[in-house]
Chain A
Amino acid sequence: MSKSPKLLALSLGFSLALPFAAASAEETAKHFGLGRPAEADEIAAWDIDVRPDGTGLPEGSGTVSEGEVLFTDNCATCHGDFGEGAGRWPVLAGGQGSLKEDRPEKTIGSYWPYLSTVYDYVRRAMPFGNARSLSDDEVYALTAYLLYLNDVVTDEDFRLSKENFTDIHLPNEANFIADDRMEEAHNANKGNPCMTDCMTEPAKITMHARILDVTPGAGDDENSGGSVD
């Protein structure tokens, strides 16, 4: 890991002197001289991620109105004209206040914590099947329109830019908590489980598999359980 030319030379000398020596993992982990320096344009081409603090945002901007046109042309087929989702495709807007309900609707407006994720994900992976096809300005405009669809901004002339991006906060930002599974009773009280006469009454069946044999098409059952998303 050393950057020192002197140490590097020393390391190479060692290798040349003992070409077949099997160094220990600790020794070999230090430096191999493999790979080559990444060029600035290569890093710029691949490193497009954006963080909640705005790190990684490109120069540019776009308005709600511009975003509406782009959304209609590139997104509405799957996500609906208003982000309501067509068929089983993801719903992008609405659902605010539904997270405690029996069937929560998790959207950008109701669930996502950070706007940076919207910009990053749309730029990296959307439209589905034609990723990386949108310009930076277009992604700003689409992000602005998604804010509008979710009532986070209300002005159709609102322009989202690198400069005002981090002023925007999504409604559900504060509702994400750390992994506290270890505090759940069954984990906190770990130990030797019951082996004999663990229930006072014989076990009774309370539910049968609803989708027998997973027949294709059977999933139209609105009462079916959760699904993968």
Chain B
Amino acid sequence: MTDRQVPAQPKTGDTIGLSRRSLLRAGLLTGGAAASAGLVSSTALAGDPLITEVQDWNRYLGDSVQAAPYGKPSEFEAHVVRRDVEWLTASPESSVNFTPLHELDGIITPNGLCFERHHGGVAQINPAEHRLMVNGLVDKQLVFTMEDLKRFPRENRVYFLECAANSGMEWRGAQLNGCQYTHGMIHCVVYTGVPLKYLLKEAGVKTSGKWLLAEGADAAAMTRSIPMEKALDDCLVAFKMNGEALRPEQGYPVRLVVPGWEGNMWVKWLRRLEVGDQPWEQREETSKYTDLLANGKARRFTWVMDVKSVITSPSPQAPIPHGKGPLVISGVAWSGGGTIKRVDVSIDGGRNWTTARIDGPSLSKAMHRFYLDIDWDGSPLLLQSRAMDEHGFVQPTKNELRLARGDNSIYHNNGIQTWHVKADGTVENVEVA
């Protein structure tokens, strides 16, 4: 790569940053009249060869239409992938990987980049062999095939799915260097599915039926207890994400969607719904997904994911490549309580705040994209974002959370993230006080 492929200081009016090429264009070096072919050699013109020379893609035919029946991203985007942190878990089958938030924009996560969290690996299920049972305190215990499910009326909804443990490794302080790792246990897609209440009404929930147990068909047979009020509210039994079938790692052929609530409850490979009069106190709601407090007590049934945000660029994996001048600060915000009303951004570690601009759809329990466009003077920054949801709940600092809960809650860390932007444009995960 020659230096000419990298645009020199693009900012107009900054003569210090002007390159020889731009000076030539401006006629400052040669004088306007002298810029004729006879007086200036071809090398002295120094035009960008990407422009002055015919490129291969401009000369030769590209791939045919059927070269990729299912398309993939450009080879130049090969770095935009899910990543894991091997030492976090004992086994890669009961583990997690992370969405590359720092490379994404907008509010929709591409299916192939949606983070994964399995407890017994990825079940591979032929939809023709999948069954969904409804049993327990119902008038009619039923079995549905996938074909049955696709005959119920459908809804399309955009929701975020955040793992309860997202940012959990950061309870004790800055640890992982990148928002993919600190905040990437989240995705946001449009789900197509059947309202859960339709299935429950089909079976006929008895008046004593106050709880619902959702169970997966995988080797972990994941189970969670869900209060009937939520089950009859906005839950979906979904078979599509972003328009196509669920990915196997996301529960193909069918998963539960529990809007605004912790990801563990979004049972994948959903095979059974049992109606009962009490919660089941399963492993995933006693040993796990309970939040230990400093006093030795532990909260259980902490279902809702609180208001939260993170700046995705600049961030440790997305340093500033272009020097001072115009800088787009981009990030995402979300709340299990509804829509995001406002996101404030600080460049001085929380001392002063500026309200950012939310762009794109503002949907309940979905990701929101925010931007703050600044003119960076090249000095170090302590970047933070602070979201507020439609109910007025404001994202707390990590220190406020620790004061209330101690260091060992593991789950539900929605504290404000700080990025230290250095003068050279590199970025580090830090904590401030």
> Are the C-beta atoms of B223 and A49 separated by less than 8 Å?
yes
> Are the C-beta atoms of B141 and A113 separated by less than 8 Å?
no
Task: Digitize A172-211: 1 where CB-to-B-CB distance is under 8 Å, 0 elsewhere.
Answer: 0001111111001111001101111111001111111111
Stretch at the interface among B32-40, B50-58, B214-222: B214-222
Q: Does A135 contact B (CB under 8 A)?
A: no
By size class, the interface of chain B is 35 or more
A2 vs chain B, min Cβ distance (A): 8
A38-B133, A100-B295, A198-B353 known; A228 vs B88 contact (CB < 8 Å): yes
Q: Does B124 contact A (CB under 8 A)?
A: no
Contact of B404 among A184, A206, A212 (CB under 8 A): A184
> Are the C-beta atoms of B348 and A225 separated by less than 8 Å?
no
> Are the C-beta atoms of B386 and A193 separated by less than 8 Å?
yes
A195-B353, A206-B432 known; A186 vs B394 contact (CB < 8 Å): yes
A181-B299, A205-B432, A213-B177 known; A114 vs B286 contact (CB < 8 Å): yes
Q: Does A6 contact B (CB under 8 A)?
A: no
Q: Which B residues from 411 to 433 make CB contacts under 8 A with A?
A: 412, 420, 428-433
Contact of A209 among B93, B282, B400, B428 (CB under 8 A): B428
Residues of chain B with a CB closer than 8 A to A28's CB = 153, 198
> Are the C-beta atoms of B220 and A125 separated by less than 8 Å?
yes
Q: Does B148 contact A (CB under 8 A)?
A: yes
Contact of A193 among B88, B203, B288, B388 (CB under 8 A): B388
Contact of A112 among B172, B286, B295 (CB under 8 A): B286
Contact of B86 among A46, A99, A219, A225 (CB under 8 A): A219
Residues of chain B with a CB closer than 8 A to A99's CB = 292, 296, 298
Q: Which B residues from 251 to 279 make CB contacts under 8 A with A?
A: 271-272, 274, 276, 278
Q: Does A124 contact B (CB under 8 A)?
A: yes
B88 vs chain A, min Cβ distance (A): 5
Contact of A180 among B172, B203, B296, B299 (CB under 8 A): B299
Q: Does A59 contact B (CB under 8 A)?
A: no
> Are the C-beta atoms of B176 and A209 separated by less than 8 Å?
yes
Residues of chain A with a CB closer than 8 A to B412's CB = 181
**Which A-chain residue is minimally distant from B400 (CB atoms)?**
A186
Stretch at the interface among B99-107, B301-309, B369-377: B301-309
**Which B-chain residue is minimally distant from A194 (CB atoms)?**
B353
Q: Does B143 contact A (CB under 8 A)?
A: yes
Q: Does B59 contact A (CB under 8 A)?
A: no
New contact pairs (20) apart from A99-B296, A191-B392, CB-CB < 8 Å: A42-B133, A47-B135, A49-B213, A112-B287, A120-B282, A129-B93, A131-B219, A131-B220, A176-B290, A186-B396, A191-B394, A198-B351, A199-B351, A205-B382, A208-B429, A209-B430, A210-B174, A214-B85, A225-B171, A227-B89
- On A, residues with C-beta under 8 Å from B are 1, 3, 25, 28-32, 34-38, 42-43, 46-47, 49-53, 78, 87-90, 99-100, 102, 104, 106, 108, 111-114, 116-117, 120-121, 124-125, 128-129, 131, 175-181, 184-187, 190-191, 193-199, 202-214, 216-220, 224-229
- On B, residues with C-beta under 8 Å from A are 83, 85-91, 93-96, 119-120, 133-136, 139-144, 148, 151-153, 165, 168-178, 181, 195, 197-198, 201-204, 213, 215, 219-221, 223, 271-272, 274, 276, 278, 280-283, 286-288, 290, 292, 294-303, 306, 316, 344, 348-353, 382, 386, 388, 391-394, 396-397, 400-401, 403-405, 407-408, 410, 412, 420, 428-433
